[in-house]
Every structure is written in structure tokens, then in C-alpha cells.
Amino acid sequence: MNRKKLLLLTAVIVLLTGCAPDKSTGVKEDKIILTVLAGQSTSDAGIEDMVNEWMEKEYPQVELEWECVDWGDRFESQMRGRLASGDIPDIIIGKAQDVKAYAKTGQLGTISEDCSAKIKESALDSVTLDHQVYGLPYNFWYQGVIYNKDIFEQLSIEVPRTTEDMEAAVEKLKAEGIVPFAVHFQESWKVANMTMQYMMNEIFKYDPQWGERFRRGEVDYTRNEDIMRCMENNRMILDASWEDALLLDQFESDSRFTQGEAAMYLTGSWSMQFANQYGKTIRFGIFPFPNKKGDADLIRETNLTFMKSADTEHDSLIDEIFYSLLSDRQLTSEILEFTQADSAVEGMESAYKSKIQDDIDTYEEQGRVIDVSTGNAQLIWSFQNRVAQEQLAWLKKEKTLEEVLEFSDANRAASAYEE
């Protein structure tokens, strides 16, 4: 946010609340004001109300002043503007993949050892830079193909492991008059998310530094068979979905899938918010979208991640709040159930059981899980989303696949944050 917009926002807050924070002390009346920039994904909206209610009980002398923005559309631009101007909120809530990029600017504060000790070890690597922890992962999502187990059993379809298995399953479903895939291609972020799922198992699984090599010009999108396979998967799913899939948003797609109108859905556990509420009679499972070698892993994404400003006047207080939040079993359980996510906090598990939890546990026990932060940290979201917009034009037959690949190579410098 630029300075003019920030001043305008502050003026609006003054008019609405009748009381503006004292910028020199961060105090409004008798309360300490902590500013929060929260980048929210589709299932996160409403968490701020849960945290506020908790704060009123645990820290009545503190008020959180929230600015909630869509993580996919506005969070990155907001953070870039704030970093450039030095106007960093006291608390930032983003994703784990954001942490290292922003920490490199020197404007994120380090997290206390007491707080970082609360986080599962498997989640700390993505938020650690030069042996210092700069973020607190709070929950995990899992991504893959959520499927209707009832339909699969009725048609004796086994969970696909290879590309050929998937092709056979799609053809059998079509022959039975069942739509193979739910999908919503109204939003470019969906195309970006799906493409990274493929790339994790086709590319980053075998070449964890592929994104860095791409920026150095050692590998390209153009004439890359693995990349082309990833993008062609989107075409296959579109052709195996509803006729109006290019016009649908997530809500409509989730709704139709929950009502049994498609057998599979390449998505994340966030879609279970709707399924657990309205699809109570349907049994669901999850499996990785197959790769060419038949050894694809389920994808884990660290979602809510807490950060803080290096220059906040309330460093110790924020650490105390973070520690208390990570220690509160009831709040953690409520947020995990609300977001349909798994816990990144050691010893904190949700009391609810998702319809796909048994499958998730099986993949974790088998070591068949890959962390998407590997790909997301190397190809930043704004780059992925821009390439996805080009893919949408291709899916609508307005551009060729070659043009999409050439666009990606031409914009390789934009695939990483400027340091």
C-alpha cells in the first residue's frame, strides 16, 4: 500500500471508530494497538473473529487492528509496498513460502526459541533462514485428487497410480455418464494451483532446484516435455469436466462435487469445508495426481504462518501472544476444524476428523508426502498466477500452448522476488 492510500485508510478508521491510534506509542485510549496484515485464502475468512474473541479474554489490554486481503490477489503487492516504504505491520499472517523472501529484506523479526519449539520440526525448514526462524507455521493443507469413494467402488475403479491408470478411469466414468472431474476455471489461481501440483511431482520431486536453474537460463518452459505435460493435464481435466467449467467459481464447483455431480476434484483440503457440511452421506478420499513415473506424492502446503516486524515496538508482547496462541488447545482445535486443516503445532491436533483424514495419515506414514514450499518459494505466486492467466487464454483457445511457454520464458526474471 502506498503512503497516500495508507493515510486514506487511517482517515477512514478515524471516522469509523472516532479514535485514531497514537502513532508514536501505538496506544488507543487505554489499549495497545497491534496492526495486522492478514493474507487470507478461501477458507481463512472469519479466523480474525475467532482470534479477536480469544484476545478479549487473554489480552484485554491489546487490540488487533486487522487489514485482511486476499492472499492470491493482493497480499504480495501489499507486502512489497510496505517493505519498500518501511511501513511494516506489527504482525503479518501469510504462508510459509512468503517467509524466506521477506526475511531477506531484513524487515522481519526473528521468532523466539520458546515459540519455534512449539512448531513441528517438519514445518520449520520452510521458515528458517541462516539458522534463524522468521515465521510460525500454524496449519497444513493437503492437495491432490479428492474423490468420491462411493462412485469408485460402484464402478470398481482403483485409485490411479500412473497416467495410463488415470486415462482409463476417466474413460470408464465417461462411458457410465459420470462427469470425471469437478473444476472451476473462472479464477486464474485455480489453474496456477493445479499446475504447481503437477510440477511438484513431475519436476521438483526429482530436481528440487529447478526454479533456480530456470532463472539462470539452464532450463526452459519452451520445448520442455515435463512442463508441457503439466499444462496438458489442465486441458485433459477441462475436457473431462462440465461444459461450463470455464465459467464456474469455487463455490459452485465445491457445491456440485459435494452433491455427487463429479467423481474427482483436483483441489486441496480447503474444499472439505463445504463437503463436510453438505456432503455428509458421501465417502471421500484423496490421492496424488499421477505423474509419468507412477510415484507421485501427496502435496502438503503450510498455510497460516505468523510473522512479525523487525521494528515493532512490542516485540516481547507479540512473542508472548504467539506463545499463548500456540498453547491454547481449544482455539487451535476450533481454527483447524474451521479451515479443515491439520496442525503444524506440536502436540496440537484437532478434535474433528476430516472425511479424507485416513488417507492423509496413510500417505504421511508411508513417507509419500512432498512439501509444496519447494516449488512455491522458487516460482513466486505472482509469476505462477500470470502464467496461469496465459494458460486460461490457451484453454479458451485464444492462444497456443507455444505462446504460453514463450511467455513464461520471457518473464523468468519475474519468477523470484527482487532482493
pLDDT (0 to 100) of residue 21: 40
Q: Which residues of 53-67 are buried (b: 16+ CB within 10 A; e: fewer)?
A: ebbeeebeebbbbbb
For the chain, how big is the Rg over CA atoms in Å? 22
- Going from the C-alpha of 72 to that of each of 39, 273, 339, 404, the distances in angstroms are 8, 19, 17, 21
Output the pTM of the full model.
Answer: 0.84
CA distance 363 to 379: 26
8 Å CB contact between 232 and 163: no
Using alpha carbons, select from 71, 117, 131, 116 the residue that is nearest to residue 97: 71
Mean of all residue pLDDT scores within the chain: 90
Asked if 241 contacts 33 with a C-beta cutoff of 8 angstroms, the reply is: no
> Which residue ranges of the chain lie beneath pLDDT 70?
1-29, 275-280, 351, 418-419
Q: Which residues pair with 400 in a beta bridge?
A: none
300: which strand partners? 142, 371
Give the closest residue to 204 by CA, choosing from 362, 371, 347, 88: 371
What grid cell was written down for 273? 469445508
Closest C-alpha among 219, 186, 185 to residue 379: 219
> C-alpha grid cell for residue 203?
519436476
pLDDT digit string (tens) for 320-376? 999 999 999 999 999 988 888 889 999 887 767 788 999 999 999 999 999 998 899
